[in-house]
Amino acid sequence: MAVIKASSSDVDMLARLMRAEAEGDGDLGMLSAGNVMVNRTRVRCLDFENVNTIPHMAFQSPGGFEAVQKSYFYQHARDRDKRLAKRVIDGERFQSAEFALWFFRPEGSCPAQWWGQWNSGRYKAHCYYTPLASACPEVYGTY
C-alpha cells in the first residue's frame, strides 16, 4: 500500500531523481535516497511543511535536490528504476535512511551533525541525517 500519492509520472520523476542522486551507490543506495525523498513528501514538519507531492519535493527551493539542475535527471526513467521507486512509495524502509530527511555526499567521513541534524549512518558515498523526534515526530511513525 502506498504511503504517498503517486501518479505514473510521479513514479517516473522519483525514479529519475533516485538514479541521478545515488546511482553510484547501487540499488540499495538508490532505495536509501528514495526513503529520504518519500519521507520529505509525507511529513509536515521543519522545511517540509508545504512539500506534499513528488514534484514539490524534487524542485523545492531552497532545499531541493541539485540533480534536477543536471541533464542526466531528464533522461528517460528505466523500468528497473521505476521498480525501485515503487518500493519506497509502497513503504519499504532501509537502514540509515528509514527516518532520514537529508543526505549528502561528503569528501571524507560523515560529520556527527549536519545543519543541526544527527547522522543516522552511511551507505557507501552518502551520509543520512534524521531530525530529533521532538522536531518531527511523524517521520518516526508507522505506515
SS3 30: helix
Distance CA 91, CA 15 (A): 15
pLDDT at 142: 82
Q: Is 78 helix (H, G, I), strand (E, B) or coil?
A: coil
* Per-residue confidence band for 1, with pLDDT thresholds at 50, 70 and 90: confident
CB burial of 42-66 (b: ≥16 within 10 Å; e: otherwise) equals bbeebbbeebeebeebbebeeebbe
Q: How large is the average pLDDT for residues 27-32?
A: 98
Residue with cell 528505466: 78
CATH number, span 8-140: 1.10.10.2520
| 133 pLDDT more than 90 | yes
Q: Where are the domains of the chain?
A: 8-140
E strand segments, 28-131: 102-104, 113-114, 117-123, 126-130
Give the tens place of pLDDT for each residue, 31-64: 999 999 999 999 999 999 999 999 999 999 988 8
Cell of residue 78, nine digits: 528505466
pLDDT of residue 9: 98
pLDDT tops 80 at residue 67: yes
pTM above 0.95, yes or no: yes
The CA angle 112-43-96, to the nearest 5 degrees, is: 35
